[in-house]
Structure 1
Amino acid sequence: MTMIVKFAGAAALAVALLQAPAFAQDASIKIPEQKVDEALRAKLPEAIRTAGKMISVNNGSFPPYEIVTDAKTMTGAAAELSDAIGQLLGVKIEHATVSGLAAALSGIAAGRYQFAMGPIGDFKTRQEANDFVDYVREYVIFAVQKGNPKAIASLDDTCGKKIAVMSAGSAEKVIKAQAEKCAAEGKPALEVMSFTDQPTSILSVRSRRSDGFFSSQAPLTYFVQQAKGDLELAAVGKANGFQDLFQGAVVPKGSPLGEVLLASIKALKANGTYEAIFKKWGLENNMIGEPGINLSKN
């Protein structure tokens, strides 16, 4: 059985989790301000140049990439990367928050937002309606209660467990397929608990309503650090139903903005800003060798 969960009390407590000092942020690393690259700016769609701004949509906190503090304010690695891109392009990048990934992607498709900085998982099925400017290499694992009492060491260990997951995300698709596999093999049922945001998902594990949270390694590492010994990571280094997993910014299919964002990220890699941002936020293991558009073959 799949449950989509959203209630105010849990959300409020989850937000409190994000008010602690940021995970692995090295304040000694200063991110250099960028000079406007006129050649890149000239490639922007005219409407964006005229407006002097772009709106990047997110679907709530995805730390340490996106840490949303109110409807229009965001910190984190993706926020600093988008700031640097905006400086290169000579435009202001504003942030808007919606409920759920599906709402974010539909908002981009409808033209309400120019892009999502993400990073959002790049999959062939999503490439049908979107282009992904991939700048992250990611892995999907579990956050579990300290001591891993349910002995979750891989995706195969989830039968008979209650697993939290973000609704509409790639991990939800994998865990639902695993639930079907458990049933087909006559094993105890896997209960999928789908939540609309990361903080509420992790709170379900801390409150023992879920046995584990199946999600990207980078944000789970953040939450485990914030949990002060209550949680730990599990199934690290396992495929867990995924092959090569790339994540990136999202633009409408065929939008010229994709190539502009790609060129901007490559410029930031070349001048050391990309690496500085990733190191500042403890994301060295998630840096990509070469950014690209629609890198996923899965």
Structure 2
Amino acid sequence: MRGRTALIPLAAVLALVGCSSAPGAGPSDPGQSDVQTDAPLYSQLPDAIKDAGEIVVAGDTHPPYRTIEEDGTFTGIDPDLQKALAEQLGVPFTIKTASGLDAMLTGMLSGRYDGFNGPVRATPEREKDFDAIVWMTTRTSYLFPAANKAQFPDSSAICGMRVAGVTGSVTETQLDRLNQWCTEQGKKATQFIGLEDTNSTILALNSGRADVVGTTQASAIDLLAAQPDEYGYVMQTDEQGAGVDQLAMFLPKGTGLTEPMLAAFQAIFDNGEYQKVMSRYGIEDAAVEAPVLNPSTAG
């Protein structure tokens, strides 16, 4: 087994405690403690994973994908999805917290992590070093304080605003497209405030450092469900360059984990567990029909 570090309990990000992700590790589901050698895809796993008895994935605080509860456990889309995948693969997942996309990508290349489930966009550049298994899509949402609702009749109002977002995220890419549209319309471009995690972006909004937060549609839905009177949001349109970006699980190339992981994704699509997870979090419209490997470079 790899060495483990005790998780430092944190309040969930929606409590808006003024702290960011702390280093740590722990099972995404404490009930997943035993290796199941009779699982459908266990025999396909590389020896390194069998010997470790776990799949270590990088993660940060990013509700509803991952929330660190006060007892140190993770809840959210990621843990639920990983539980379904673990039933196919026969080994549990362990999430180790990390700050920033760059740290997660370099950590995978150095062997510290076996993968990262984002949400992160599949691109040709990233697919040079990583295999990307696409399992959902997204459109960027822009959150604002409910008291400022009159200032945001639609997403064109984002032009000229200070936008807090996670550095390297799909939000940053879609914001570049929005800025191009704003300029074409004779409007001012936005100012992007790049931060390490979702918690930091919400804190920037609440402190007045940012006018809006750019985030995934799933995160916007989650935050509004938890605090319906605190925030509102507008969605970036196709005309403004939103498109439909593909979000993927990243795995370092050449480890032997990609093939069984892709098969595990296909299995949970086939048995309905994937659809249950997407429905549970109200993001059915972000679902895809089937997992896709390396969409930017395939073929």
- Residue aligning to 1:77: 77
CA drift of 1:112 comes to 0.6
> What does 1:38-57 align with in structure 2 at a 5 Å threshold?
38-57=39-58
* 1:142-189: CA deviation from partner (whole Å, max 9, x where unpaired): 1122253433623x5433211111112132234356558867997545
Preserved contact between residue 12 and residue 67 of structure 2 (Cα < 8 Å): no
Preserved contact between residue 163 and residue 190 of structure 2 (Cα < 8 Å): yes
> What does 1:252-291 align with in structure 2 at a 5 Å threshold?
252-291=252-291
Whole-Å Cα distance in 2 between the matches of residues 197 and 172 of structure 1? 13
- Residue aligning to 1:120: 120
Q: Which has the higher contact order (CA 8 A, sep 6+)?
A: 1
- Residue aligning to 2:31: none
- Residue aligning to 2:27: none
- Residue aligning to 2:15: 16
Whole-Å Cα distance in 2 between the matches of residues 128 and 71 of structure 1? 38
* 1:16-37: CA deviation from partner (whole Å, max 9, x where unpaired): 248xxxxxxxxxxxxxxxx866
Give, as a single letter, the amino acid of the residue that structure 2 aligns with 1:100: G
Greater mean alpha carbon deviation, residues 205-214 or residues 168-177 = 168-177
Give, as a single letter, the amino acid of the residue that structure 2 aligns with 1:73: T
- Residue aligning to 2:101: 101
Preserved contact between residue 202 and residue 223 of structure 1 (Cα < 8 Å): no
1:247–1:165 Cα change, 3 Å = same
Whole-Å Cα distance in 2 between the matches of residues 213 and 138 of structure 1? 15
Preserved contact between residue 37 and residue 43 of structure 2 (Cα < 8 Å): no
> What does 1:204-243 align with in structure 2 at a 5 Å threshold?
204-235=204-235, 237-238=237-238, 240-243=240-243
1:218–1:128 Cα change, 3 Å = same
RMSD of aligned alpha carbons: 3.0
Give, as a single letter, the amino acid of the residue that structure 1 aligns with 2:132: F
1:45–1:251 Cα change, 3 Å = same
> What does 1:242-253 align with in structure 2 at a 5 Å threshold?
242-253=242-253
Give, as a single letter, the amino acid of the residue that structure 2 aligns with 1:115: G
Preserved contact between residue 177 and residue 241 of structure 2 (Cα < 8 Å): no
Whole-Å Cα distance in 2 between the matches of residues 210 and 222 of structure 1? 20
Whole-Å Cα distance in 1 between the matches of residues 276 and 118 of structure 2? 18
- Residue aligning to 2:5: none
1:296–1:68 Cα change, 3 Å = farther
Preserved contact between residue 57 and residue 94 of structure 2 (Cα < 8 Å): yes
Whole-Å Cα distance in 1 between the matches of residues 234 and 128 of structure 2? 33
Query: Secondary structure of the residue that 2:202 maps to in structure 1?
Result: helix
Query: Secondary structure of the residue that 1:81 maps to in structure 2?
Result: helix
Identity of aligned pairs, percent?
Answer: 26
Query: Secondary structure of the residue that 2:114 maps to in structure 1?
Result: coil
Query: Secondary structure of the residue that 2:107 maps to in structure 1?
Result: helix
Give, as a single letter, the amino acid of the residue that structure 1 aligns with 2:130: N
- Residue aligning to 1:138: 138
Preserved contact between residue 61 and residue 198 of structure 2 (Cα < 8 Å): yes
Preserved contact between residue 165 and residue 194 of structure 1 (Cα < 8 Å): yes
CA drift of 1:92 comes to 2.0
How many residue pairs are counted as aligned between the two chains? 270
Whole-Å Cα distance in 1 between the matches of residues 133 and 244 of structure 2? 15
Whole-Å Cα distance in 2 between the matches of residues 175 and 129 of structure 1? 25
Whole-Å Cα distance in 1 between the matches of residues 272 and 37 of structure 2? 16
TM-score (norm 2): 0.79
Query: Secondary structure of the residue that 1:209 maps to in structure 2?
Result: coil
- Residue aligning to 1:168: 168
